[in-house]
Structure 1
Amino acid sequence: MNLKVDIRAELEVFPWKRATWTPDKLIAASPFRYDSTPSFYVWLHDNPVTGARAGDWGDYGAADPEYRRGGFVKLLAFLRNETEEETREYLRWKYGDGPVAADVEPLTLDLSGVLRLHERKQPLDPRILNVWDREHPYLGLRGISPEIQKEMRVGYDIKSKAITIPWFLPDGSLANVKFRRVDLKTFWYVNGGWPIRELIYGIDLIYRKRAKMAVLVEAEIDAMYVMTAGFPAVAVGGSSFSEEKAELLRKSPIEELRIATDNDEAGERLKAQVIEKMAGYCELYDVEIPVGCKDVNEVGSLEEVVSIVKEAVPCRDFAGKLLFKE
């Protein structure tokens, strides 16, 4: 199936460091590495001279051959913080039907055998976590206690140099496992895992502990940091809040949700989505991330995390009206 995907439009919604946009190419610092050199590029259109297709990318500074070059689905899945299967579904949903702008270059995606929208997923075998049952200092350096790491069943994969972060269903069944490199920004998910758009990180603990209040954040590391500070926490795993995620929270024991999204434009959009979908289902509070901090893990001391969570203020609707009375 050939899909005409607007490569530039899909990429422009993400923050790029030291970006230069030309008619044919985006050049920027690599999203996969902690580096500010503009050594990363993405072709916005097919290039007959090089043979590159629209969406193909390369990273001159990459040490890992897996991230030296690749196609658009792999890049977009990383940027959207989801599995490649979910990205293919997203592109098929967005570009597969209806009119498409005439000046958009074609991108061929093989979707055969991938779109199983109505297939019921099965939980993963939890014994796979035993393979990675070892410690690594990475999360400790991010301020996360050994007790929380153990409770969340964090592990380490020696072969890929990545910590492993399991995602569970409300009943405690294993749904997916995220691998995050300890030396790079790169991450990926285990093969055959549950779609991330249908999951909430930490939801199993909410059910197990019958927690009435939880702090909602974007990333798993942020959630574990909040847990280290002494609060129940959940993470959406990115900057979008799907209806499936909202339904998981609506059905949970949570009666009070304190929203601590990232301190940027994407975080504000996510906060608005959470308020829109969760208003009326539980009390909603806004946690203010201090100026100069990107997210809750950058706040610094656990004492300050405790302070900003406790000082959260009731959320207001888009007209400025309080969503509930204290």
Structure 2
Amino acid sequence: MTFIIRGQSLHIDIRGELEKFDWTRPTWSNDKLIAASPFRYDKSPSFFVRLEDYGDYPAGTWSDSGSYDDEWSSGNIVKLLAFLRHETYEEVEEYLLASYGFTTDSTDIKLKPIRLKVQWVRQPLKDGLLADYRQDYSYLESRGISAEIQRQAGVLYDAKSQAVVIPWRLPNGELANVKYRKTRGKVFWYERGAVPIRELVYGLELATAQTVICEAEIDAMSWRQAGYSAIATGGASFNEWKADEIKRSAVEELIIATDNDKAGEKLRAEIEKSMRGRVRLRNAYIDARESNGGSLKDANEALVKYGEESLRESVRLSESVRELYVKLRSSSLGK
């Protein structure tokens, strides 16, 4: 499908982009994806994305029939990908331009986009940005995270948008970004014009020699509730920016505790690949005592259902990741 982004015409593979993510109860057809809403705790297929143009509605537009507010009842592909990728609207535009942009007048020649990595020098945010928010720990307390742990993390509450305010800081403690998470549903967004989450590791300013690494900030706070130092990637992807930040930190041993889903296993593999040889690594797996034979999705779900001891048990049962010598076993010299 062809889209105009920042004045450029892009042919975006909508289905290919959406297939990168896990969906609940998805039904794919030639012109539509129907699934449970990614914005709510929803188990019914009440959300759809158009994969083809339909009348006045272009491909990539979506609708959520059970949305809690008008802002998240419908939108375009950029807004949806921003949510799924844990990025701002502008960052997704940059991603799409880098992935699909090309300039040519010929119908016979298609040029792959030249990918240029440009690292902008962004200034830290002012802590005064948080002055309009107040202390209200009730939402995360209902999810097993004490007021003490929330104060340590600098958690606040935005009464106007009814969202928990979670600061992201640089390793030196300066404010780098802010995540706003609605207390109803799963909707979240980040501060515009801030350091991108892809360049940050949540909680690294509090990390110690042995630290748990997980996906979400609330999971990191859940591990802290159980007595561990914990950091978060902010999503199901890992890169050299994050690896370098951890390498320069106090961390000597990483306990990898990603979500129990396809994206979580992908993230676990990415962390292992990037951090092997840089720090000691262990794999911890979230409690899997569900009566239906399934497993809990993440650390916070385990904390709420089975308490802090279930997370401690996961660490006690964690397995060391074998180091570089493992590669020798696949060579002609090993067995």
TM-score category, normalised to shorter length: 0.7 to 0.9
> Is 1:261–1:295's contact at 8 Å kept on the other side of the alignment?
yes
Structure 2 residue 319 is the aligned partner of structure 1 residue 313: yes
Question: In structure 2, how many angstroms separate the alpha carbons of the residues matched to 1:288 and 1:245?
Answer: 22
Aligned pair in 2 of structure 1 residues 302, 195: CA closer, same or farther (>3 Å)?
same
Rounded Cα–Cα distance in structure 1 between residues aligned with 2:255 and 2:193: 32
Question: Which amino acid in 1 is paired with 2:79?
Answer: K
Displacement of 1:37 in angstroms is: 2.5
Once the 2 structures are TM-superposed, how far is the Cα of residue 279 of structure 1 from its aligned partner? 0.7
What's the Cα RMSD here?
2.2
Tell me, in whole angstroms, the C-alpha distance in 2 between the residues paired with 1:254 and 1:197. Answer: 19
Give deviations 1:152-189, integer Å, cap 9, x for gaps.
11010001010000000011110111010001110001
Whether 1:53 aligns to 2:58 is yes
Amino acid at match of 2:308: L
How far residue 20 of structure 1 moved from its aligned partner, in angstroms, is 1.6
The answer (yes or no) to whether the contact 1:315–1:322 under 8 Å persists in 2 is no
Equivalent residue number for residue 287 of structure 2? 290
Q: Structure 1 residues 318 and 68, CA, compared in 2 at 3 Å: closer, same or farther?
A: farther
Amino acid paired to 1:37: S
Matched with 2:113 is none
Corresponding residue of 1:82: 87
**Helix, strand or coil: the match of 2:311?**
helix
Tell me: CA distance 1:85–1:312, structure 2 relative to 1, closer, same or farther (3 Å). same
Unaligned runs of 5+ in 1: 103-114
- Aligned equivalent of 1:188: 189
Match of 2:211 in 1: 214
Equivalent AA in structure 2 for residue 303 of structure 1: E
Q: Residues 17 and 319 (structure 1 numbering): CA distance in 2 closer, same or farther, change over 3 Å? A: farther
| Aligned counterparts of 2:27 and 2:79: Cα–Cα separation in 1 | 21
Conserved? CA contact 2:37–2:47, under 8 Å: yes
Question: Residues 48 and 62 of structure 2 are in contact (CA less than 8 Å); yes or no, is this contact kept in structure 1?
Answer: yes
TM-score between both structures, scaled by the size of structure 1: 0.88
How far, CA to CA, are the matches of 2:119 and 2:91 in structure 1? 13
The more displaced of 183-192 and 277-286 is 183-192
Deviates more, 1:130-139 or 1:280-289: 130-139
Question: Runs of at least 4 residues of structure 1 off by over 2 A?
Answer: 115-119, 316-323
3-state DSSP of counterpart to 2:157: strand
Among residues 303, 310, 315, which one is paired with 1:304 in the alignment?
310
Alignment of 1:60-99 (within 5 A): 60-97=65-102
* CA 1:264–1:120: 2 relative to 1, 3 Å: same
Q: Which residue of 1 aligns with 2:276?
A: 279
Using the size of structure 2 for normalisation, the TM-score is: 0.86
Query: In 2, Cα distance between the equivalents of 1:256 and 1:63?
Result: 42
CA offset digits 1:235-292 (Å, max 9, x no partner) = 0010000110111001111110100011111111101100111011110000022222
Structure 2 gaps of 5+ residues are 1-7, 108-115, 289-294, 330-335
The SS at the match of 2:238 is coil
Counterpart for residue 36 of structure 1:
43
Distance 1:228 1:133, change over 3 A: same
Match of 1:106 in 2: none
Give the direction of change, closer, same or farther, for the CA distance of 1:140–1:321 in structure 2 (3 Å limit): farther
Q: How far has the Cα of 1:98 moved from its partner?
A: 9.2
- 2:287·2:310 contact (CA, 8 Å) conserved in 1? no
Aligned length: 303
